[in-house]
């Protein structure tokens, strides 16, 4: 297995991983992003994210997708949006290797924090993160406004 920076050509495989994650997270119909959007948004003139991929026998078996954020308390940070490994390759060390690569990248970039979300029912992931030294907060709630909510809100402005 090789861990490397993702390339534009990897985005069809990345989308398949994203769809597999949506199924795992019980949201099989939630993915609307396209390969074209991933290619443009990740590899266009103003990239919005970076990726590392796990590759085995010329097959993309996992991916970490992350981007920079800015904290008013900490300065430059990284948000790990998704860490995905194909179901058939879970338990092989691919997820751990991708995780290590993101943390190493953050250290090299001088970020003061790397953060991500984990579903409260994914105890396997929570245990892994806590063993690695990460803190899983119990007192912060995730807040989102989806596309429909944005539209409704802006109609009332």
Mean per-residue pLDDT over the chain, rounded = 97
> Hey, what domains does the chain have and what are their CATH numbers?
2-156 (3.40.630.30)
Token pair 């909510």 is found at 149
Query: Does residue 129 carry a catalytic annotation?
Result: yes
Q: What is the SS3 assignment for 91?
A: coil
Cα dihedral 78, 32, 123, 137 in deg (nearest 10):
40
Q: Which residue is catalytic, options 67, 68, 89, 129? A: 129
pLDDT tens digits for range 31-79:
999 999 999 999 999 999 999 999 999 999 999 999 999 999 999 999 9
Tokens of 9: 């050509």
Helices (H), 45-122: 94-109
Contacts of 62 (CB under 8 A, 6+ apart): 17, 53, 54, 83, 84, 85, 86, 89, 94, 95, 98
């Amino acid at each position: 297995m090789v861990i490397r920076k993702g390339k534009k050509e990897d985005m069809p495989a990345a989308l398949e991983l994203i769809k597999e994650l949506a199924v795992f997270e019980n949201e099989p119909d939630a993915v609307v992003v396209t390969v074209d959007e991933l290619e443009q948004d990740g590899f266009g003139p103003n990239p919005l994210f970076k990726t590392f991929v796990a590759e085995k026998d010329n097959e993309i078996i996992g991916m970490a997708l992350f981007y920079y954020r800015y904290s008013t308390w900490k300065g430059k940070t990284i948000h790990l949006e998704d860490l995905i490994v194909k179901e058939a390759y879970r338990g092989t060390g691919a997820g751990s290797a991708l995780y290590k690569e993101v943390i190493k990248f953050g250290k090299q970039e001088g970020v003061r924090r790397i953060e991500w979300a984990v579903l409260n029912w994914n105890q396997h992931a929570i245990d892994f993160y806590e063993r690695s030294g990460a803190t899983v907060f119990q007192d912060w709630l995730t807040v989102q406004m989806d596309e429909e909510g944005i539209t409704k809100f802006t109609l009332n402005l």
